[in-house]
Amino acid sequence: LCSLKCFHEIITIGYRVYHSYDLPWFRSLSWYFLLCVNYFFYGETVADYFGTFVQRREQLQFLIRYHRFISFALYLAGFCMFVLSLVKKHYRLQFYMFAWTHVTLLITVTQSHLVIQNLFEGMIWFLVPISSVICNDIAAYIFGFFFGRTPLIKLSPKKTWEGFIGGGFSTVLFGFVFSYFLAQHQYFVCPVEYNSETNRFVTECEPSELFQLKKYSVPLLLQAVLGWETVNMYPFQMHSIALSTFASLIGPFGGFFASGFKRAFKIKDFADTIPGHGGIMDRFDCQYLMATFVHVYITSFIRGPNPSKVLKQLLVLQPEQQLNVYRTLKSHLVEKGILQPSLRG
């Protein structure tokens, strides 16, 4: 819903700026492209996380099997409608709005899809980043209000270096402590999976090594200050430092980008959805950038082979294909000495 509202706010600005209200049909075309992109991304999610359930429904198998082809065909239909609707006196305006629509889709729908992907990795991968951005915003305001003297960037005259630095340290500390409490509960650390037998989502698992307490040696310089030689903490807390650092150093640039965008088109806020605070996009400008970083971070440094997903893919294969996989796996395990050659399946 937030994605749809953000899309509506940015598209409305585009129509207002380029005075394209005399092309009302093009607004419908913009929403059609939104429908196509949502169908593609959320279909990918369904195929990835609900594969076993879908395979049991014959009426859905066709949609999943040819999902990408259907998505592309839907987009091509919109593309052809756009080309056929070009009007000589509105060429430039129409291409402006075509580009505006696609950039808006990139900013809103693509990013919100990544948010959902992060949620499926575990609630902690959603709560820590989003809370870090909120904490940084609040802490930077407080430090800037009481100690701010040096302007940070011309796009946001009220932002100061004191607020930026103070907010950064506060955010890293907050993320480190907040992660410690969340890592103690399965509900927050276990990946969200769909149980086809009970037809509901479950968050039950054996926590990975990231969420198991380990003993770490305290650096010599800190031992004299803290009086501790070792400390027990969760490995995820080290990752939380990276997430919090991004939220405090790079995250604000999402806000600066939004400020520059609004100044370019001489508007105060994206909308007036929230009285006194602007539109939904005004609240989510930094969150989208954060969501992208978290997704890239997980895929680069955290995520490994997922046995449950591999099993789901095997279950939807044809019996002959499953037997071939079984024989290949058995032969591999025998070669590594894990199974005895005499073992019969």
Q: What is the pLDDT of residue 19?
A: 65
pLDDT band with cut points at 50, 70 and 90 for residue 223: confident
pLDDT per residue over 68-86, tens digit each?
Answer: 999 999 999 999 999 998 8
Residue closest to 135 by CA, chosen among 239, 5, 245, 236: 245
| Helix (H) or strand (E) run with residue 280 in it | helix 280-297
pLDDT per residue over 14-36, tens digit each?
Answer: 877 766 556 667 778 889 999 99
Q: What is the pLDDT of residue 21?
A: 57
Average pLDDT, the chain: 86
d(CA 15, CA 150): 38
d(CA 109, CA 138): 27
The size of the chain, in residues, is: 345
Q: Are 173 and 154 in contact (CB under 8 A)?
A: no
